[in-house]
Every structure is written in C-alpha cells, then in structure tokens.
Structure 1
Amino acid sequence: MLTVPVRQLGESERRAVERLLDHDPFAGAQVAERIAARGLSWWRAEGRVLGYGARRNLESLCWLGGNLTPVLASDAAVAAFADLLAGEERLCSSIVGRADAVLGLWDRLSDTWGPARDVRPNQPLLVTDTLPPVPADPEVRQVRSGEVDRLFPAAVAMYTEEVGVSPLAEDGGRSYRRRVNDLVRTGRAYARIVDGKVVFKAELAVVTKRTAQIQGVWVAPEWRGRGIATAAMAAVVRDALLRVAPTVSLYVNDFNLPARRVYERCGFQPIGTLATVLF
C-alpha cells in the first residue's frame, strides 16, 4: 500500500511547523505570521497548511489560502503538492514563494489552474539587519488613525499599479479598506504627507519574530524623479529595526531598477529569489 506523503497539518504539529519556518524566516514570513496569529486549525487560520514528509520528519510546507505559498519545498514535495492540488478548484489569487518551488508548481498546475494573468519569475529577496547608511527623511512617519482617508487613495493606486487590477473591483474595496485600517491601527503604515496628500507610502505588511517585511512602497507620480524614495525608505527601515524586528526584508521585481537602486542604497542585500504567479 502506497502512503501519500502530503497531509493537512493540525495544531498538534505546530512545533514542527514553527521549527521548519525558522529555517526560511524570510521567504516563509507571511506563513509564519499567520500561524503565529491563528494557529493551524483551518477554521481559525483562513487557510490550510499542507505538510510533506513523515510525521516525525516534516520536510516541506505549503500554505493554501488567499495565496498558495510553498516553504522549503523540494522537487519531490513540489510534485506531491501539485498532485494533490491539481484535483481541486483554484481558489487562491496567486502563487508566491521561492522561485524554484513556485515555478515548479506552476509547471505542474498550469494545465488545470491556468491561464495566469501574469508570471513574475525573478523577484530578488532582500534583507538588512543594519541601520541605513543614508539619512532618513524626517517627514516620513507612521500614519495616524484619522488619516486613513488620505492614505486609502494612495494605497489603491499602488495596488492597481503593482498588481494590475484594482482592489476596488471585489466587494467595492471594503476588504481592502479594512486591511489598510488594520495597518494604520497597528502602527505598520508609513507615509510622507504634503499639503494633505500622500506623496510616499510603505507598510510593514508582514511582521514575525524574525523580520518585518516591507510591501506597498509607492511614490506619487508627480514626485517621481525627485530623489525622495531613498531617504523615505531609510526612515521606514530605521523605525522597523529600532521598534519592530531584528531584520527588515522585502522582494522586488527584477525589472524595477529604480527601486532596486533605492534598496541597495538603504543597505539591503540579496539572499534569494522569489517568484509570483498572478490570477
């Protein structure tokens, strides 16, 4: 009798899952944050965690919720996850994680889950644990609770520009506005506001005991080319390191050369490559 190595994990295996996530604290940060907050019970976690390997030798994970995220997935694990998932309806909006695993999954799932709206195969994963070597913009600060209405249009513009669809298309943007509200409420949203308008924004979209992951970096179009991004990012990184986590991480599209130069000036170093498949 053949034993299927993939299984859905539950709370009883939480320690093994956390140990595995500690081996890839940056690419697996989003999964680690969700499990730390909600555990492994699917009705609380808003997703399932699949495991590959023997019960006493967990080798790989795969988070399946709004996103599909493989963590430390070997070729054998990728094949096993894909075999299971190919028989299910696709409910996730993206596949994101280490490039080799994501592209391996997509190669096996594309016939049943395709087509993709976009495939981004090369997204450098960057990390820093030192304060930026460049001056920080003193006008970049945490967004206050009464400033959500100012931040929200900038957040929508960033999302639409980056992802290629508007977050207002689904449920009129109510769920996205809740997300923006949560980021402001928890002190994770940063902005520079000039004459009542957001000209720079970024947020700590993921926070774990190991890292704060920056996402949503955006400069208003009319302010681009003025050189404000480096000092603005330095302010975010500095606050995150001093107040939130021992490292700061992010990932960026390989073709976004201006952003990559900004991150390099702020002290980020590459530690791997992610990939994203968007539906």
Structure 2
Amino acid sequence: MRPLSGQDRPAALEVCRRDPVASVLAAVQVERLGEVEIPGAELLGVWDRGRLAALCWAGANLVPVGVGPDELDDLAHYVRSRGRRCSSIVGPADAVLGLWDRLAGAWTRPRDVRADQPSMAIAADPAVAPDPRVRLSRVDELDLVVPACVAMFTEEVGYSPLSSGGAYESRVRELVVGGRSYVRIDEGPEGPQVVFKAEVGALALGVAQVQGVWVHPERRGEGIAAAGMAAVVADARARLAPTVSLYVNSYNAAALAAYRRTGFTQVGTYATVLF
C-alpha cells in the first residue's frame, strides 16, 4: 500500500469505473490526482502483483473504493497507524463496515453507525413531472440558502456545521457559483422562504450525486420532494451527467418513497460511520 500520485491516475480511474455510482465520492479526487493537492489528505492505493486492486480517499472523509476482504486488513493497518483524521467513513457498505470492524478498537467511539443506506440512481427522464419552481440558486440568495443548508445538516447529523468555522458556508457558495445548488423559494408570512433544496455534491465519471435534499418542516407531506427531485434530475442530466445518484438512510421511509416516485431505483448499499 502507498499513496497514489499523478502517474497512477489512469489505473485509479479504472478502479472507479468498475462501479461509477458506488465510487463517485472518491472519483472526484481521482480525477484531480496530480493536479490539486489538499493539505493533510491523500489517495491510498492497494496493489496486488503490480496491479492497483483498490483505493481509498483519506481526507475529511475516509472513502474506500473496490476494497474487498483481501485488502481490508492492509488498509486498516495503514489507516490505524496514522490515527483518526476523518469525520466519517462512507462508501459501499461491505467495505465501510469491514473497515470499521478492524478500526473500532483503536479509534474513538462514533456518534452513529448507519449500516444500511440504499444507494439509488436514475439514468432516464424522471417518472413524475418536474416542479417548475425548482431552479438553480443564485449568489444573491445565499442569505436564504445557507440557513436552509444549515438546518438540513443539523437535522441530519446532529450538530451545526457552522461550529467548525466558515468552511461550510464557503462550500455552499462554491456549489451555488458552480451551478450545482437547487432551490424552490416560496413567499411565506415573513417573506421569501426556502421550501426545497438539494445540491449535486459530487460529480465524476458521468455520475452526479445529489446530497443535502431537504424540505422545510412546515411543508412536508405536500409532495414537494418528488417533484422537486424530478426537477433536479432533469436539469442535472441535461447539464452535468447522464446518471444521477444519491444515498439515503433506510429508516427514512418518506424520502425513500419520494425518490422511488421520482424514478430512482436501488443499485447498491452505502454505510456511514459518523464521528
């Protein structure tokens, strides 16, 4: 095992192409390998007889790709020796849970282990009519978009992302500027209000992974999510990538139902270990 460099990029891309939907989170970093360096992060490669067998992005998140039983011991040994630097382990469930089994005795107790997160994808027109009120966010709307993003994150993860500084707001702005942030803004009793939002948080190898889907608590149960996601799918497939994916907690029955109405089907299972 060793960190990968720019010369390893073709081999790393080949590993990711085995399952582009499952590997999209790491593939974002693979596509930039040798061009962009992130301090404190590295792309790890597991080699077998001169062939790149698997890889793992080790940055703010630990993201294994193509890691099977034969590679888990080597990867866990390497990562354990560095100490925990990530805020989560996320990716295909078998690899994430197998890696966590090997790290649990050496790392701090996680806040949550989400072992069953259906990975869903759509590569066709949405099955329901897109909501025409869902559109790309604008920079001049950040004062509305950022609070909605913070509310979503806090509800999902359990703490405010603003507690760690300004990186989260910068990320929201980056997605807005990049044409990867969607909103529906309705007029409320106290002025404009975000009632639906979502972002394409990862984009690589022809896959646009949607993250941060959120409907305002006061507007849930109105069918906003399915039509909103249909609008996201239609635009993302037209502008960004032919396949749109996401992953969702198995216990979130309402979200699963909305995604299925939109036309998403399950293609795998993710897991997340949150610290």
TM-score higher than 0.5: yes
> 1:117 maps to which residue?
111
Q: How big is the shift at 1:144?
A: 1.1
What letter corresponds to residue 151 of structure 1 in structure 2? V
Aligned counterparts of 2:34 and 2:97: Cα–Cα separation in 1: 26
What stretches of structure 1 move > 6 A for 4+ residues in a row? Answer: none
Q: How big is the shift at 1:228?
A: 1.3
> 2:74 maps to which residue?
80
- Confirm or deny that 1:16 pairs with 2:8: no
SS in 1 for 2:230: helix
Aligned counterparts of 2:17 and 2:4: Cα–Cα separation in 1: 17
Aligned counterpart in structure 1 of residue 147 of structure 2, from 143, 149, 153: 153
> 2:262 maps to which residue?
266
CA contact (8 A) 1:35 1:45 kept: no
- Confirm or deny that 1:202 pairs with 2:194: no
SS in 1 for 2:43: strand
> What runs of 5+ residues in structure 1 fail to find an aligned partner?
1-5
Q: For residues 148 and 55 of structure 1, do their structure 2 counterparts lie closer, same or farther at Cα, with a shift above 3 Å needed?
A: farther
**1:160-219: per-residue Cα shift (whole Å, max 9, x none)?**
111111101112xx1100000001000000000012110100011111131100000000
What letter corresponds to residue 210 of structure 1 in structure 2? G
Which region of structure 1 is more displaced relative to structure 2, 127-136 or 47-56? Answer: 47-56
What letter corresponds to residue 253 of structure 2 in structure 1? L
CA contact (8 A) 2:29 2:57 kept: no
> 1:59 maps to which residue?
53
Q: CA RMSD, aligned part only?
A: 1.4
Count of residue pairs the alignment pairs up: 271
Q: How big is the shift at 1:46?
A: 5.6
Aligned counterparts of 2:194 and 2:170: Cα–Cα separation in 1: 19
> 1:190 maps to which residue?
182
> What runs of 5+ residues in structure 2 fail to find an aligned partner?
none
Aligned counterparts of 2:15 and 2:231: Cα–Cα separation in 1: 32
Q: In percent, how many aligned pairs have the same letter?
A: 48
> 1:247 maps to which residue?
243
What TM-score results when the alignment is normalised by the length of structure 2? 0.95
Aligned counterparts of 1:149 and 1:19: Cα–Cα separation in 2: 41
Aligned counterpart in structure 2 of residue 91 of structure 1, from 81, 85, 94: 85
Aligned counterparts of 2:49 and 2:169: Cα–Cα separation in 1: 40
